[in-house]
Each structure stands twice: as C-alpha cells, then as structure tokens.
Structure 1
Amino acid sequence: MSETDGNKNKELMNALNSVKKVNVGDVVNAEVLAIDDNKQLIVGIEDSGVEGVVPPRELSSKPINNINDAFKVGDKIKVLVVTKIGGDKEGGSYVLSIRRVQSRKAWDEIQAKADAKETIKVPVSRAVRGGLVVDAGVRGFIPASMITDHFVRDLNQFKGQTLECKIIEVVPEKNRLILSHRAIVEEDRKAARDKVMSNISEGDTVEGKVARLTNFGAFIDLGGIDGLVHISQISYAHVDKPSDVLKVGQEVKVKVMSIDQDRGRISLSMKALEPEPWDSIEEKAPKGSIVTGTVKRLVDFGAFVEVIPGVEGLLHISQISHQHVNTPSDVLKVGQEVKVKVLDVQPENHRLSLSMRALEPEPDRNDGNNKAPRHNVNDNSKTNAPTEENGFTLGDIVGNELKKEENKNNKNNK
C-alpha cells in the first residue's frame, strides 16, 4: 500500500470515528433544516450525519401560535432523543423534543432552588377541584389548603395571578411539583403584624380597609394584620348584618379598643368615633316633647322604642293606652313607627321614659253605653237617710207619709 493510500485510509477512519452515535435519552445539538407543512421541524443532529423530526407537541413547553415566528431555518437548538423511527437500518431517523429539554432544565433549576430554600414566582394557569395549576416551566400544583391563610370559596379569582411560592415537594420522575403560597402569606403577615403591633396603642384612631365580612362583624386590614369590628361596634344605630352598611374594599376609620399581644388580636370600633347619642338626647328629645320612634323590642312589661339612632326609650305597658292592654304585642309590633311623648330623660343613666297614652284624649266618664256615671253613695242612703246627694230632706219624707195617711182615712169615712 502506498503512502498516499495509507493517508486516505487514515482520514477515512478518523472521519468515521468522529461520527457521534445517537442514543435514545441523549440531549444533542441540532440545526433546523426545514419547517414542513405539518408544523414540525426537520433537523440535522450535529456530528451524526442523521436527521430527526420535532413534532408540534414537542416544540415547546409553552403554546406556540405560529411556528414560523418561533423558529427559522439555520437555528441551532438542543433536543432530547425520544425514539428512533425506521428500525436499525442505516439512515434511520429520530423523534426529537425541545419541550423535554426545557422541562429537564426547569426541573434542575427547581431542584436547585428547593435545595437552597428559595422561593419561585409562578403564574396561575387555571383553578381545578382541590387547588390551582401553575406554570413553573413544568406543571406545578398548589393545593387549596396551601393557597392562603383563610378559606376561599371561589378559586377562580386567582386565575391569571402570579403567586410567590415555597417549594414543598419535587419529584421529576413523577412530574410532581407541590408548592405553597400560604407559607409566604403567613410569613408576610407575621412581619406586618409585628410592625403594626409595635406601632399602635389602645385609643389610637387608624385607617384601614374592609377585608372580610361575617355575620358577627367586619375584619379590617390595618396594613398586614386584620382587626375585628364587632357588629355591636359598627354604629350606634341597630345593624342587622355588617354587609348592610359595609362592603369589602371600603376604607374606614376605626378606634383601637384593645390589643392582645399574645394572640395577635386587635379589637376595633367605628361607632366610638361617632358622637355619643345620649349626650345630645336632652336637645333632640327633651322632656315633654313629642317624637316619632320605631319599636325595636317587645317585652312583657312594655316596648323599647328607638327615638334617634342608638337611643331607645321604654314605653311601659301602662303607658301604651288608656284602655287595658294584656300584652304589648296585642297593640304593637317590631318595626312599627309610633308617636310618643317624652315623660322623663336621664342621660347619665341612659334612661328615657315614653308614653303613647299621653297623646290620646282622656276617655269620657261614661262607660260607653250612655249611662250616667255611678256615684259613691254612703250607707245612710240605704235607709233613706237624708243626704244632699239624693235630693230629699227629712221634712219631705215625713210630710209625704202624713199626706198618705190622711188620704187613706178620708176613703174609709166615705
């Protein structure tokens, strides 16, 4: 063999040795050779001399609206070898995936952050039964119990939001990623709570925003910690439901009534910032005045009537009517508007005495059947004793008796 032939053989062997063998599961470099009508890529695997196909579902971990906007001929890409098509024959082709390379990279990054106890921010893709599906480069899941620190009925409100989360569990081989936003919320609230608790005192007036409404009151966000305005502290006027007078997101001023540092609880009042209604009661409902009120409560001994918001007076059963009243409910009902006269005012004792009877005309002395009124007669009238009340004198009675006797004698003589 000549030296020239030997060199050619050596070059051929080197060329053959330089061809990389392609194995399923490898991540390899490739070049986009064409974009076909099926919206898939035809690529050449670098240093292998073979081609592969990247089908549409393997193009990306995120939706692609137009493949021509995402890829161009000549682009250099990394792909994962999924499987071989065409058997072991020479010139066989491969199914390749860009999406799985991205996914593998995402899992590696997530695992690294989990090991470093770092958080990640993820957009919420959709709400499902039991929690939220999020996009962390791979599919992640936030269970309902790990979304926030209170019960949420409608999870759809989180759709489209980006939530910061702690990484709870990472299992790439099972495509399992569990995250918690609640852990972030609780940490933030603790920091905010500590800040608020150190800056407010009982008696302070502060501004807040209505965060939640319940049947028993309203929770006010004071900037990271919620305080409670009990329903009895919303207004001096009677409030059936907090939602009747407040709405979520409404800004309000409140007074700090008490602070429980150990339990992290703050009691608030809105009505404490309103004028005390009893302070002006002698001006608004002075003794002897006639006012219109609303029956708020009925009891055995009378009715409580609200004459101004926050001020109720007692309408005693004896003051309802001149007529006999067995029970207040026979005459009155809750919610009824009535006119009453103020009999007595005691602001210092929060007492107000009212009367409806005082506004009625005095009844006639007749019993209703046009009979003359009965008089009290002394016992002497029973023996025909002379009195000024019955209109007879002793002389009248004796004279009449003598005249009767005379007439009787005259008849007998005839």
Structure 2
Amino acid sequence: MSENNANENNDLLNALNSIETVNIGDVVKGEVLAIDDDKQAIVGIEGTGIEGVVPQKELSTKPVADINDVVKVGDKLDLVVISRIGNDKEGGSYLLSVRRLEARKVWDEIQKKFEAGETIDAPVTQVVKGGLVVDAGVRGFVPASMISDHFVEDLNQFKGQTLTFKIIEIEPSENRLILSHRAIVEEEKAAKRDEVLATIKAGDTVTGTVARLTNFGAFVDLGGVDGLVHVSEIAYERVDKPSDVLKTGQEVKVKVLSVDPDRDRISLSIKQTLPEPWDGIEEKAPEGAVLEGTVKRLTSFGAFVEVFPGVEGLVHISQIAHEHIATPNDVLSTGEKVNVKVLEVHPEAHRLALSIKALKEKPASSEPEKKQSAPRRQNNNNSNNNRQNVVSTDDDDAGFTLGDLIGDQLKNAQNSDSDSDKD
C-alpha cells in the first residue's frame, strides 16, 4: 500500500471516529435543511453528519396551525432525541422534538419552585370531570376539592382565568403535576383575618357583605373574616328567617358587638346601625292618633299590635270590643291587620296603650249597661293609673303583674255579677 493510500485511509478512519454518536434522550443542536410537505422539518444534527426529523406537533408546546409560521430553512434549533428511525449509523435518521425539550426545561423550573415553596400562575384551559386542566408550560391538573375553600357547583366560571397555584405534587417522568388554588385562597384569607382581628374592636361600625344565610342568622364577610349577625340582631321587628330580609352578596352596615380572636368569632348587629324604632314615637303615634297595625301576639289579657317596625302596643282585652269576649282569640288572629287608636304613649318605657273598640260604634243594646258601670270603671282606672293600658314590648308580660293588667276591675266585675244574681 502506498503512503498516500495509507494517509487517505487514516483520514477516513479519523473522520468516522470523530462523528459523535447520537443516543435517545440526548440534547442536540440542529439546522433546518428543508420543510417536508409542510408537515415536518428535516434538520441536520451538528457534529454528526446525521439528519433528523421534527414533526409539526413537536415544534412547540402550543398548537401549530402552519409549520411555516414556526420554522424556516436555516433556523438553528435545540432538540431532544426521541427515537431512532432506521439502523444504519451513518445514514440513519432520528425523531427529534423541540416541544419535549421545552417541557423538560419547564419541569425543571417547576421542580425548583416546588422545592423552594414558591407558587405558579397558569391559565385554566379545560373543565373536565373532577377538576380543571391548566397550562403551566406543561399540563397541570387541579382536583375539584382543591379549587376553592367552599363547594363550587359550576366549574366553567374558571375557564380562561389565570389563577395562582400551590404545587402539591410533581412527577415529570409520569407527566403528573397536581396543583391547588384552595391553598392560596386559604392563605390569603388567613392573612386578611389576622389583619381584621388585629384592628377591629367592639363598638366599631363597618361595612360587609352577606356571605351565607342560615336559620339562626347571617354570616357577613368583613374582608377576610366572617362575623355572625344573629337573627335577633337583624332588625328591630321580629324576623322569622334571615332569608326573608337579606340575600347573599348584599352589602350591609354592621356594628361590632364583640370580638374573640382566640376563637375567630365576631358578633355583629345590623339593627343597631338603624334608627331606634321608638325615637320620635310621640310625634309618630301621638295620643288620639289612628294607626294601622298587625296583630303579632295574642295573650289571655290582650293583643300585641305592631304599628311601626319594632314598635308594638297593647290592646287590652277590654279595648278589643264593646261586647264581652272571653279571650282575644275569639275575635282576632295573629297576622291580622287592624286599625287602632292610641290611648297613651310612654316613650321612656317603650310602651303604647291602644284600642280597637274606640274606633267602633257602640251597640245600642249595651248603652244602659255601660252607663251603669261607668262610675265603677272610672274609679278603677283612677286607682290603678290606667295601668291596664300600658304594655312592654320586651316580653309578653314584662313590667306587669296580674293586678297591673286587671286590677280591681276583676273584683268589680265579680261584684256586679253577684248583685245581678241577687236582683
């Protein structure tokens, strides 16, 4: 063999030996040599003399409508080797991907954030059974139980929104990324709650939003912490169900009754921010005024009639009708609308004495009997200071004794009956 031939063979062997080998999973650089049928890019892998193929779907982590919008001949790309096409080392070809290399970088970044306890922001791309799918550069999944701190019936409201997530689980080899937005919501609320509890105090008047309604009251969001307005503190008038007067999302003004930071409890009142119903009652219900009211309660001694929200007066049994009635239930029913005349007003005691019969014409048959008994009734009234016409709205019989409510009138009535029997 001539010396020239030997040198040529050595050069060929050296050239062959200098060709870098390509292995599955390697990150390589490639130059786009051609676009094949607008479906894939043909690239030359630098330092190998080997060509590879990049399918259109492997050019980006995002959907590619037109391959020419993404790459052109001469572009240099960073690629990862997915698999080998053919068996010939020199003339073989490889399946390459830009998308998977980008995803690998994303996984590395997410892993670092996970280890550092950091959060990520990502848009919600799909609503699927059991949760949400988000685009975090790679596919992430948010279970329904990790979307919010309360049950959400319609998950479609989150589609298209970009939310902040806490990384719960990450496994790149299995393309598994589990995220939680609930953890973010809870952390934000905890921070706001601490801030509110540190600044709010009993006696403050603040504005909040009705968050939830229950049978026993309304929970009002004060900006990170909920306070309870008991049903008795919603209004001065009686409220059977909070939902009768309030609705979720309604803005309300409330007064802080008490704050218990250790138990995260705040007691609130809506009615104490409203005008006191008895204010100006002498002007609203002067003696002699005729008002329309609603029968709220019936007792053995009379009927309590609400003439203004939170203002009730007593129609004593003797003031219900001209004729004798055994009980108020004989002629009145709860919820009934009636007209009443104001007999007495006691603003300081929050008491009104009312009459229904004063607005009715006296039956002719009862006139003689009434004239005969008038002096006795007058004496009885004088001795008892008209106390049978006074009422407390605090309780059915608060501020009354049996004598207050009936007094000597009962005795006189019994004596009259006895005299009649003798006659």
TM bucket, shorter chain: 0.7 to 0.9
2:306 alignment partner in structure 1: 306
- The more displaced of 1-10 and 249-258 is 1-10
Aligned 1:215-226 pairs, distance under 5 A = 215-226=215-226
2:267 is matched with: 267
Cα drift, residue 163 of structure 1: 2.3
* Further displaced range: 95-104 or 327-336: 327-336
Q: What code does the residue aligned with 1:183 have?
A: A
The CA distance in 2 between the partners of 1:184 and 1:337, in whole Å, is 54
Question: Considering only CA atoms, is the larger Rg found in Structure 1 or Structure 2?
Answer: 1
- Find the counterpart in structure 1 of residue 284 from structure 2: 284
Tell me the distance in 2 between the aligned counterparts of 1:125 and 1:347.
65
Alignment-derived partner of residue 42 in structure 2: 42
Tell me the TM-score normalised to structure 1 length. 0.77
| 1:314–1:366 CA distance, 2 compared to 1 (3 A) | closer
Tell me whether 1:235 sits opposite 2:262 in the alignment: no
Query: Cα 1:278–1:377, aligned 2, differ >3 Å: closer, same or farther?
Result: closer
| Matches of 2:209 and 2:129, distance apart in 1 | 30
Quick check: 1:172 aligned with 2:172? yes
Match of 2:83 in 1: 83
Counterpart for residue 409 of structure 2: none
**How far off is 1:267 after superposition?**
1.7
- Using structure 2 for the length normalisation, give the TM-score: 0.76
Q: 1:377 to 1:2 in 2, by over 3 A?
A: closer
Separation (CA, whole Å) in 2 of partners of 1:377 and 1:260: 67
Q: Which residue is equivalent to 1:201?
A: 201
Secondary structure, counterpart of 1:106 in structure 2: helix
How far does the alpha carbon of each residue in 1:289-322 deviate from its partner, in whole angstroms, 9 at most, with x for none?
Answer: 2101234455676554321122233445554434
> Does residue 138 of the first structure (1) align with residue 138 of the second (2)?
yes
Q: Which amino acid aligns with 1:13?
A: L
* CA–CA distance in structure 2, aligned partners of residues 119 and 2 of structure 1: 70
Q: 5 Å matches for 1:83-162?
A: 83-87=83-87, 91-162=91-162
Match of 1:352 in 2: 352
Give, in whole Å, the separation in 2 of the partners of 1:289 and 1:195: 52
Cα deviations across residues 173-223 of structure 1 (Å, max 9, x unaligned)? 222222222222222222222222222211012233444445544433333
**Do structure 1's residue 365 and structure 2's residue 370 form an aligned pair?**
no
3-state SS in 2 of match to 1:276: coil
Cα distance in 2, alignment partners of residues 167 and 378 from structure 1: 94
Letter in 2 for 1:52: G
Residue 391 of structure 1 corresponds to none
Corresponding residue of 1:185 = 185
State how far apart, in whole Å, the 2-side matches of 1:15 and 1:40 are: 30
Q: Are 2:84 and 2:92, in contact at CA under 8 Å, matched by a contact in 1?
A: yes
Higher alpha-carbon deviation: 45-54 or 112-121 = 45-54
Match of 2:379 in 1: none
Per-residue deviation at 1:244? 5.5
Which structure 2 segments of 5+ residues have no match? Answer: 368-418
RMSD value over aligned CA atoms?
3.3
Correspondence for 2:63: 63
Number of positions where the alignment pairs a residue of Structure 1 with one of Structure 2: 372
- The whole-number CA distance in structure 2 between the counterparts of 1:378 and 1:308 is 45
Pick closer, same or farther for the CA change 1:330–1:276 going to 2, 3 Å.
Answer: same
Identity %: 66
Kept in 1, the 8 Å contact 2:342–2:353? The answer is yes
Cα distance in 2 for partners of 1:379, 1:315 equals: 33
The structure-2 alpha-carbon separation of the partners of 1:239 and 1:13, relative to structure 1 and needing over 3 Å to count, comes to: farther
Q: CA deviation at 1:157?
A: 2.5
Deviation at 1:236, TM superposition (A): 2.7
2:236 & 2:62 partners in 1: Cα distance? 57
- Post-superposition shift, 1:251? 4.0
State how far apart, in whole Å, the 2-side matches of 1:10 and 1:326 are: 131
Q: Are the aligned partners of 2:323 and 2:366 in contact in 1 as well (CA < 8 Å)? A: no
Aligned-pair CA distance for 1:98: 2.2
Q: Secondary structure at the match of 2:263?
A: coil
CA shift for structure 1 position 245: 4.8
Say whether 1:12 aligns with 2:16: no
Match of 2:24 in 1: 24
Measure the CA separation in 2 of the matches of 1:112 and 1:98: 22
Distance 1:79 1:277, change over 3 A: same
Deviation at 1:347, TM superposition (A): 3.6
- CA shift, 1:338, in A, is 2.2
> Structure 2 CA distance, aligned partners of 1:335 and 1:118?
61
**In structure 2, the residue corresponding to 1:277 is in which secondary structure?**
coil
Deviations 1:86-106 (A, max 9, x none): 455863433322222222222
SS in 1 for 2:104: helix
Q: Distance in 2 between matches of 1:123 and 1:345?
A: 66
Task: Please list every run of 5 or more consecutive structure 1 residues that lacks an aligned counterpart in the other structure.
Answer: 368-375, 381-414
More moved, 197-206 vs 86-95: 86-95
**What secondary structure does 2:207 align onto?**
strand
Q: 1:335 to 1:50 in 2, by over 3 A?
A: farther
- 1:350 & 1:377 partners in 2: Cα distance? 40
Counterpart of 2:224 in structure 1: which amino acid?
G
Change (3 A) 1:377 1:30: closer
2:43 and 2:138 mapped to 1: Cα distance?
25
Alpha carbons of structure 1 residues 6 and 137: separation in structure 2 relative to 1, 3 Å:
same
**C-alpha separation in 1, matches of 2:366 and 2:264:** 71
Once residues 3 and 197 of structure 1 are traced to their aligned partners in structure 2, the CA distance between those partners, rounded to angstroms, is: 94
